[in-house]
Amino acid sequence: MTTKQKPELLAPAGNLEKLKFAIHYGADAVYIGGRQFGLRSKAGNFTFDEMAEGVEFANQYGAKVYVATNIIAHNENLDGAHEYFKKLYEVGISAVIAADPALIDACREAAPDLEVHISTQASVTNWKTAEFWKNEGLPRVVLAREVSVEEIKEIKENVDIEIEAFIHGAMCISYSGRCVLSNHMTSRDANRGGCAQSCRWKYDLFEDGTDGTVDISDENDEKYTMSSQDLSMVEHLPDLIEAGVDSLKIEGRMKSIHYVATVVNVYRKIIDAYFEDPEGFELNSEWVDEIWKAAQRNLSTAFYYGEPTHKDQLYGRPERLPKYDFAGLVLDYDPETQFATIQQRNNFGVGDEVEFFGPNFKRFKQTIVELYDETGEPIERAKHAMMITKVKIDHPVHYLDMMRKQK
């Protein structure tokens, strides 16, 4: 039987709403971006006031909030760093995630009691590098995504340091994000928050001919990308737990609240089920099926079990397509009338089969038979974005439960 401590489930939060849903659906901690020094400039990054509200919400659940400050800084990026880190500490942030030694030093000088975790951008792939950061006083390293399960075991055997590793989400085709495609094609610096994701663009295939460059793509072919499949360890999570990973990290600060809630819900269930009975643990196929209800690309285990092959590349038509749209958010439920107040997020109506789900992996399906607008008038469809509706529900639901509709 395992004697491992239950690892932290760390979720992305691109804005305040996503932060609350990630924690409500089971995350032990979230990582966010502020208005400076982060690699997701297009995410709904947090103001200091929003950070303070997020920290206050997280405290109610016993959760933590980390801030990504993981750019590779140029001279002009260093202005204001000391003031920024000092303010992060004052609003109650638990740790920052950094890769650049200049920013690490700035944080230590301005806020010596604020934890610093070394970012995946630093490409930690071996135990000697982990030991270096341990000796520098950093309590945690976020491993490079090119590390295998066996290498994680070796790192933990040699260094007493917290290990954070990705378990789900997008993978960068370049080595730990060290890419200049975006810089070259769009003059947007991928390592300073401006990645244009050029690797995911659709390309034609050419060869050099005697009379110039010749397009050899068939017009009916799928366009080519330089992109990898997404990572998913949903079927292999015990391997990472037994290897000694302390924080299991989900990628996706740009993803929707439906994606965040669904993925967090699944991994929360797997972690808890494993620690309830490690010896008798069996993977439930429903957990795997649930992952596919969140919009995403094809999935692989990336580098965890050896070098990826062409089968882990993203090209051609997807093998499986997302099955569900996020249709509505539960705001209230009246047990006497069995009506739920639902905020519309996608078109739904009478006759549609929908699925409700909430934290702790509770779910049920039903067909909508009664639907009313906010004034109590019967309607056939909820067509307008964010409109408030009343829906007759077969089973009790709760605030912030979600309603899906199969595509």
- Name the residue type at position 120: T
User: What pLDDT, on the 0 to 100 scale, is given for residue 1?
Assistant: 46
DSSP codes, 246-308: SEEEE--TTS-HHHHHHHHHHHHHHHHHHHH-TTT----HHHHHHHTTS----EE-TTTTS--
Q: Using alpha carbons only, what angle is made at residue 344 by residues 339 and 345, rounded to the nearest 5 degrees?
A: 140
pLDDT along the chain (407 residues), means of 10: 82 96 98 79 78 98 96 89 96 97 96 97 95 97 96 98 96 72 74 69 72 67 76 97 98 92 97 96 95 84 90 70 86 97 97 96 96 96 96 97 93
391 and 332 Cβ atoms separated by less than 8 Å: no
**What is 8-176+227-314's CATH number?**
3.20.20.70
Task: Enumerate the domain spans of the chain.
Answer: 8-176+227-314, 324-406
User: What pLDDT, on the 0 to 100 scale, is given for residue 251?
Assistant: 94
- Report pTM: 0.90
328 and 352 Cβ atoms separated by less than 8 Å: no
User: What pLDDT, on the 0 to 100 scale, is given for residue 4?
Assistant: 77
Distances in whole angstroms, Cα of residue 360 to Cα of each of 60, 287, 354 = 18, 12, 19
CATH class of the domain comprising 324-406: mainly beta
183 and 193 Cβ atoms separated by less than 8 Å: no
